[in-house]
Structure 1
């Protein structure tokens, strides 16, 4: 019985340490998700997947078109609108819905 009672403090310490580490990892994921509301972190370093709202566009449902990419702000992309290519510049300006603005370039 004394072997069991002597090992309890070590067992509780190990379980407590594992719980602290797991909680720290969980909180760091949540902070990362909140910081990039329209952004999902990728495993390739600083590249992130962002969702952009293409300004001055409308899809079939009347909502603005959206575009997802890992390209950095300042990049000019080409997106087909009504069968015609239109260029947009990706910005780092967040919009209220958690996406970023993509402004018409031409």
Structure 2
């Protein structure tokens, strides 16, 4: 019985230390996951100089070479007048050969 009572304080302190380390690790992972990422995934366009860099988009499936400049992020839906009618486009991170990015039409008929 004395062997159990002698080992109990060491066991409790080791369990408590492991719990503190686990909680600190979980808190760190959660804080890092909330931090905005400034780098892009491999295989995408080069990283911009900041979160609000100006980009030029080519509006696809329009009669002319319509282009649109904005600082809005990828995935934003914009409305642009095409042939006198409003048409919605989604901004993408797909680079085109002329140095602009593609804006995909959402309301194309």
User: What is the count of residue pairs matched by the alignment?
Assistant: 62
Higher strand share: 1
Secondary structure in structure 2 of the residue aligned to 1:91:
strand
Shift in Å, 1:105: 1.1
Task: Name the counterpart of 2:96.
Answer: 95
Alignment of 1:37-56 (within 5 A): 41=49, 45-56=50-61
Shift in Å, 1:58: 2.5
Shift in Å, 1:46: 1.8
Q: Does 1:104 align with 2:109?
A: no
Distance 1:74 1:105 in 2: 12
Cα-Cα RMSD = 1.7
User: Computing the radius of gyration over CA atoms, which structure comes out larger, 1 or 2?
Assistant: 2
Distance 1:81 1:101 in 2: 16
Task: Name the counterpart of 2:5.
Answer: none
Distance 2:51 2:103 in 1: 20
TM-score (norm 2): 0.52
